[in-house]
Amino acid sequence: MILVIVFLCGAMVMSFEILGSRVLAPNFGNSIFVWGSLISVFLAGLSAGYFWGGKIADIHPSTNKLALIIFVPAMLFITFPLYSTGISDWVFMQDMGIRMSPLVASLFLFFIPSVFLGAVSPYTAKLMISSLHTSGATIGTLYALSTLGSIVGTLLTSFYLISVAGVKTLIMAEGVLMIVIAIPLLFMKWDHPAGDTVPVETETIP
Amino acid sequence: MRLALPLSVILLFAVAVSPAFGDHKPLTKTIYQTNSLYQFIMVDEDQVARQRYVLVNTKKDRPQGGILIDDPDKLIFEYTRMAFTSLAFLDREPDEVLFVGLGAGVMPRYFNRYYPDAIVDSVEIDPEMFEVAKKYFYFVEKPNMKVHLLDGRMYIKRTAKKYDMIFLDAYRGEHIPFHLTTVEFLRELKKKLKAGGVVVSNVLSKSNNKYFWAMVKTYQEEFESLYLFKGEEAGNFIFVATVNKFPLQKSAMLYRAGEIQSDKGMDIDLKQSPWDYEDMGFTWDSKILTDDFAPVNLYKEMEIGK
């Protein structure tokens, strides 16, 4: 179940990024600056999310909290049509130039969801790690699944989904999907394999 | 073992290069190539036909513009000649015109030649393309012929100017910029037209543009009248969109085209160009392209999937 979530959250990040380029185009065009802004804001969000997700994972990790982490971007996705045009038009009106405008718009529209989606990976790693002997394999599996998800999200969105429905409909549908996959987490009785207090295994510390 | 890597590299290289030699026409030579922010740009010369083209990304694609080496003022592409027939849809001489998509700059340059006092603005997203137009296609900036280097939609949204005619030549090559096809964009475009102004658009033909009818429908949604000119050579269409509710009759249009042509002494036949003149007064059963839904970039895949 948690593996599926890691995969899907990886897919959501990249699907959102592809769709984001179409959200920005009406006001900021399709220039190299739009792509540059978009990619860096997503990476900044993920980076902040990895850091923050790792921190909070050390404080009584639970599947309930993981569900809450996923609910935030899910709600932002579902309500996206309510604020995206307003924010995008407002940034357009400020006229901060061809570089700053798409960067600022990307920050407002895409930064917070990517922080939360980024936090999913370290948080699930903490939940899954049962021993320091196999933690490498666990983290490796999660990385691989998350990136595989990203590949699928990118390809599916750009090759296919864009011709199936409107951009805003797709973003909302992805939000609903995240809610659906996160709800079971609330009812899961997750026994942290290593418990809250992982004994220090001195042999692994160089 | 130590030889394995260099050997395989050599082998790969040989495999990669050999078909390229096979396909290469010896009489065409590339005189310049560069990687820009947006595309791979090539300037090719055909020594037999004495033509020079600019190509992007692949040699197989249609050129983005070209000239006769010995007579660089001639319009060698049919769609560029067809596009100027649109002059007959304006009830006056154009004072200010805009070209979205500079390419080799052949069309703005041609327009400037016959309307030397008119203001000719061009928008081009790719700075390298502008350099190529200047270096290889005799394009020169003048006080009344300027190029703005930014996204076409950005320019349209920001400019305070209004134009008599707007030529859209941005739907080219492999990639159709979706945000220049939508009904929202056409609405923004219309706001930058003077009274009775005309929008002229170069559109890929039905056979390799799955969204052709959707594009027709979108133009019809925003403009009062739409006329389609179909080319004979490459099969491109020229869309002429006007805000005039009363359709212009073909005979009247051709008469006016003839007048303009002889008045200006143009070297192209404005009356011959519209090989097929259709007044699209009816609506097609197709979806309108919007900022939310415009999968026009997928036209190639769609074509294969059909």
Residues of A within 8 A of B37 (CB-CB) are 32
- In chain B, % of residues over pLDDT 70: 82
More confident call, A27 vs B19: A27
Does residue A206 belong to any structural domain of this protein? no
* pLDDT on residue B151: 92
Counting the structural domains of chain B, the total is: 1
Cβ contact, residue pair B154, A28, below 8 Å: yes
CB B125 within 8 A of CB B132: no
Residues of A within 8 A of B301 (CB-CB) are 159
Residues of B within 8 A of A37 (CB-CB) are none
pLDDT at B283 over 60: no
Active site residue B164: no
Chain segment B66-88, per-residue pLDDT in tens = 888 888 888 888 888 889 999 99
Q: Which of A95, A162, A165 sits opposite B298 (nearest CB)?
A: A162
Q: Which of A29, A92, A169 sits opposite B151 (nearest CB)?
A: A29
- In chain A, % of residues over pLDDT 90: 78
Residues of B within 8 A of A165 (CB-CB) are 293
Considering only CB atoms, which residues of chain A are within 8 Å of chain B?
22, 25-32, 92, 95, 98, 159, 162-163, 165-169
Residues of A within 8 A of B170 (CB-CB) are none
Q: Which of B154, B184, B297 sits opposite A98 (nearest CB)?
A: B154
Report, as an integer, the average pLDDT of B182-191.
96
Mutation for testing the B interface, residue in A28, A31, A101 having most B CBs under 10 Å: A31
Does residue A131 belong to any structural domain of this protein? yes
pLDDT at A76 over 80: yes
DSSP per residue, chain B: -TTHHHHHHHHHHHHHHHHHHHH--TTEEEEEEEE-SS-EEEEEEETTTTEEEEEES-TTSPPSEEEETTBTTS--SHHHHHHHGGGGGSSS--SEEEEE--TTSHHHHHHHHH-TTSEEEEE-S-HHHHHHHHHHS----BTTEEEE-S-HHHHHHH----EEEEEE----TT---GGGTSHHHHHHHHHTEEEEEEEEEEE--GGG-TTHHHHHHHHHHH-SEEEEEE-SSS--EEEEEES-SSPPPHHHHHHHHHHHHHHHT-SS-TTTS-SEEEE--S--SSPPP-SSS--GGGHHHHHHH-
Does residue A7 belong to any structural domain of this protein? yes
Chain segment A94-145, per-residue pLDDT in tens = 989 889 999 999 999 999 999 999 999 999 999 998 778 889 999 999 999 9
Mutation for testing the A interface, residue in B171, B188, B293 having most A CBs under 10 Å: B293
| A186 CA: distance to closest CA in chain B (Å) | 34
pLDDT at B281 over 70: no
pLDDT at A16 over 90: yes
Report, as an integer, the average pLDDT of B153-181.
89
Does residue A203 belong to any structural domain of this protein? no
Question: Beta strand B145-148 with B119-123: parallel, antiparallel or unpaired?
Answer: parallel
Chain segment B123-133, per-residue pLDDT in tens = 999 999 999 99
pLDDT band at B285 (very low <50, low <70, confident <90, very high): low
* pLDDT on residue B306: 31
Cβ contact, residue pair B182, A169, below 8 Å: no
Does residue B72 belong to any structural domain of this protein? no
Domain of A102, CATH number, reads 1.20.1250.20
pLDDT at A200 over 60: no
Report, as an integer, the average pLDDT of B220-230.
91
Rounded-to-integer distance, Cα B225 and Cα B230, Å: 17
Cβ contact, residue pair B179, A25, below 8 Å: yes
- What is the extent of the structural domain holding B120? 78-305
Does residue B216 belong to any structural domain of this protein? yes
How distant is the alpha carbon of residue A151 from its chain centre? 14
- Judged by average pLDDT, the poorest of A20-24, B59-63, B145-149, B244-248 is B59-63
Counting the structural domains of chain A, the total is: 1
Conformation bin of residue B14: beta by default, left when phi > 0, alpha when psi is -120 to 50: alpha
Cβ contact, residue pair B151, A28, below 8 Å: yes
What is the predicted ipTM? 0.79
* pLDDT on residue A205: 47
- What is the extent of the structural domain holding A55? 2-191
Mutation for testing the A interface, residue in B38, B128, B153 having most A CBs under 10 Å: B153
pLDDT at A1 over 70: yes
Q: Which of B37, B182, B295 sits opposite A163 (nearest CB)?
A: B295
Q: List the catalytic residue out of B44, B121, B126, B169.
A: B169
Residues of B within 8 A of A98 (CB-CB) are 150-151, 154
Rounded-to-integer distance, Cα B261 and Cα B294, Å: 38
Give CA separation, B157 vs B89, B152, B189, in Å.
Answer: 25, 9, 8
Closest Cα in chain B to A157: B295
* pLDDT on residue B78: 85
pLDDT band at B173 (very low <50, low <70, confident <90, very high): low
Report, as an integer, the average pLDDT of B281-301.
72
Residues of B within 8 A of A22 (CB-CB) are 178-179, 291
Closest Cα in chain A to B150: A31
CB pairs under 8 A between A and B: 57
Q: Which of B152, B158, B179 sits opposite A26 (nearest CB)?
A: B179
Report, as an integer, the average pLDDT of B232-236.
76
Does residue A125 belong to any structural domain of this protein? yes
Cβ contact, residue pair A95, B158, below 8 Å: yes
HSE-up (13 A, CA, CB side) for residue A197? 0
- Judged by average pLDDT, the poorest of A129-143, A186-200, B11-25 is B11-25
pLDDT at B16 over 90: no
CB A27 within 8 A of CB A88: yes
Domain of B301, CATH number, reads 3.40.50.150
Does residue B41 belong to any structural domain of this protein? no
Q: Which of B158, B292, B298 sits opposite A168 (nearest CB)?
A: B292
- Residue A177, judged by CB atoms within 10 A of its CB (0-12, 13-18, 19+), counts as middle
B292 touching A, CB under 8 A? Answer: yes
Cβ contact, residue pair A29, B125, below 8 Å: yes
pLDDT band at B61 (very low <50, low <70, confident <90, very high): low
Does residue A201 belong to any structural domain of this protein? no
